Structure 1
């Protein structure tokens, strides 16, 4: 294993002698050099005693810095073997912005999750009246309530893919759906093709199964079938996880010709396609008509995942999988190791909301268009060097920073009252440092304020947490 001397680390970290607290400044300096590539990953770090001598500080100070780097996921250690640099696992690092609850008073731009629609309250009141007749049994149905499975199947049929309720299993959100599919169909060492950038929790789920991840680059312009085909062939992929409908985070929409080509390639190379349709219902502009990926499936290799979280509300925690009836039953058996069934009340609410689907889509379209316009206008005015393509649907902009480093911008933005998810969260091994995902799921006023704060963060650097308070009215709005 390569190693760095204490003198080299001291020089690379570049900590000013008067920095306070010194241990944190040292940890921040080492992390910054790892993220910009000057300190490579899997390089042995000097012993704490030697680095303390090179820096002329106490060993306790260096120990505290190393402890902080381990906590953040940038350092791994083993008794008797020393410490070496690493990149954090997004599922476990203490700095994971996905774990923020919003209680820190920051404008939450790390999550592309819209608030509940107007129809939610009415649907909830209706199902409370309905609940007693569903409470006669034990409430456990691993496949999901028949009523909801009928509604989901009917929606697929209306979209052009004939579907029976037996082909649907209801899950506790789309992330749960990904976990049970990967848990059943992917094992240690199996190759899983993923887009880069992609939905971070899909990477987490594949990693937890010990899968080998084979990334395929995409952009706002979309997918190249030859690259996807090559990745399937060369990796021998068991599964390919794709998001063809307003891909998160790029907003790209896959056309039917590409869908047909990718499905045909998966058939040739015996790869199962795990298709995430979480954003499918949220076209904001007129877009070419597209068919579900399952419409091009001739041998039952397309497994579709949907969710109530983006069209309706994330707090409902209801998702689903569309597959063959046989595989749906196997998934229901497999899920028993994690949970038995989804909450009945939430399933009833989502079944009611399917009756208001077009109403909710119209409401979402109005709100997201206004927020998208505010974010686009703010970026063009205040950060004109940052570039992006305005997506025709979905909930976020994939912004190229043109020279700025996403991790540094995110650190500085937190000191100005904005929480971000930088580009590396959406990729592998520290890639995508030149990008930010900026969602437009908050109200226009909140986004306009957030962009002003981003400009200040870029120009002046971090001010430290809580130095820029968010007004109470803005917090309530967020």
Structure 2
């Protein structure tokens, strides 16, 4: 039929010419197969290409586009990996939607950074000037540890002492025996969930929240109980009602410059939350990864565990945000008994974290004030540059300027975050759309824009995003609407 859309019973499919017309890819786009996959994905996400619609055979679409069959095969393979295409031998391929909790092999959180795109999907900062001297110190003293076995499941003593001393200085008396050094905060969260979250149990998560926390919960087969974080911060009644009504035994919270909203929880809310957890039998996993990154003057906030009276609040931290993402060193602060149990559990994963990185982080703790001051200067400059650029180029976007952390949590003028991210990738910027942070794949009207890159990079990124808004993805002309044959 002329339209190319053929209906046979309940089986709907597109011809090669019609899909070629719909994707509307600029012939100069490179790599072409990636652009083709992205264009089809965008058609599915915005509803112009229905789910369960059969797509043309590879050779038919290749002929219609004037490209090699290998190019189309690569695009279809990518769509299958992402979950947007399903295939069965002899029956062809048809469109699909991936599980919201598993976005396939093209999960942008694990995508390579060598694709030339500006990495605004990640909020990890560049290394500070204090890193190089710490690395040199670790190299100089590394050989000193060669007389031992070379690893400690709990973490090396100097680092555990440094972390414990830092908690004590913040108002939470801590002994080294209460610290377990991990290979990043993500391993810390994984270990705690493995011990405390049986399959089928409920876990309370903020929404929006850190995406990999959702990954851990789903990996454990947990029942996720989302609690919204409004624009003005946490509402204690929403949190406590969720604890009571769900009977969740575990909750994961980010009270310090929450990722992605940037909110900072005040001491009164922290104290009340710890009391509610005690009342309803909920253990709180508190992610303090961003706690050291205040930019403006803010009231000093005590660690949430300072309000704990029965070991119900477990803190996790990381070297990745204050210092550098390449330092895969994190930690857990809990009771000494829990630390020993976690160390036994951890032995089945990696036994211990790398010695060299631990030596580096132990040295960095000695100059933490210097690094904190440097971060404040650089993040303030980057934040202010990003705020100015967005307000100039996208005045219809709304956001609250955070007093710390590493990102703006932007409300778009229209709910189009995924489409914008697809378009921006074709203009050289990788973005983090709101659904990455939504428990149910919601938040399509939101976008996280990190300000952890230098000001000049952020200014260039905003220019490219603005161009992507105007020109759209994969080409300079908009795709024509899909009109079924009658």
Q: TM-score range by the shorter chain?
A: 0.7 to 0.9
**Structure 1 residues 70 and 231, CA gap change in structure 2 (3 angstroms):** farther
Counterpart selection for 1:313 from 305, 314, 324: 324
Please point out which of 53, 61, 70 is paired with 2:80: 70
Deviations 1:212-265 (A, max 9, x none): 111111134211111111222222212100000000000000111111121111
Find the counterpart in structure 2 of residue 162 from structure 1: 173
SS in 2 for 1:16: helix
Using structure 1 for the length normalisation, give the TM-score.
0.86
Distance 1:441 1:167 in 2: 32
Cross-structure match for 1:476: none
Alignment of 1:259-270 (within 5 A): 259-270=270-281
Which stretch has the larger CA shift, 157-166 or 18-27?
18-27
1:248 matched to 2:253? The reply is no
Misfit runs of 4+, over 6 Å: 20-27, 37-40, 60-66, 77-84
Partner of residue 21 from structure 2, selected from 8, 16, 19: 16
Structure 1 position 388 matched with structure 2 position 399: yes
Asked if residue 236 in structure 1 is aligned to residue 241 in structure 2, the reply is: no
Runs of at least 5 residues in structure 1 that lack an aligned partner in the other structure:
465-478
The C-alpha deviation readout for 1:50-108, integer Å capped at 9, x for no partner, is: 9x99xx999x9999887553321235578999978333456562322222332111111
Q: CA deviation at 1:448?
A: 0.7
Q: Distance in 2 between matches of 1:154 and 1:24?
A: 49
- The reply to whether residue 330 of structure 1 matches residue 336 of structure 2 is no
Query: TM-score scaled to structure 2, two decimals?
Result: 0.85
The answer to whether the 8 A contact 1:109-1:419 is kept is yes
1:430 to partner: Cα distance: 2.3
Alignment equivalent of 1:365, drawn from 352, 360, 376:
376
3-state SS of 1:287 partner: coil
Count residues in correspondence: 453
Aligned twin of 2:483 = none
1:399/1:436 contact within 8 Å kept: yes
SS in 2 for 1:213: strand
Quote the residue 2:303 is aligned against. Answer: 292
CA distance in 1, matches of 2:473, 2:40: 17
Is the contact between residue 177 and residue 305 of structure 1 (CA under 8 Å) also seen in structure 2?
yes
CA distance in 2 between partners of 1:98 and 1:66 (Å):
21
Report the Cα offset of residue 109 of structure 1.
Answer: 0.5
Q: Tell whether the 8 Å contact from 1:105 to 1:417 is kept in structure 2 after alignment.
A: yes
Shift of 1:197: 0.7
CA change 1:18–1:375 in 2 (3 A) is closer
Equivalent residue number for residue 85 of structure 1 = 96
Quick one: distance in 2 between partners of 1:324 and 1:397? 35
Matched, 1:257 2:262: no
Supply the RMSD in Å over aligned alpha carbons: 3.1
Measured in 2, the distance between the counterparts of 1:390 and 1:179 equals 32
Q: Distance in 2 between matches of 1:118 and 1:65?
A: 42
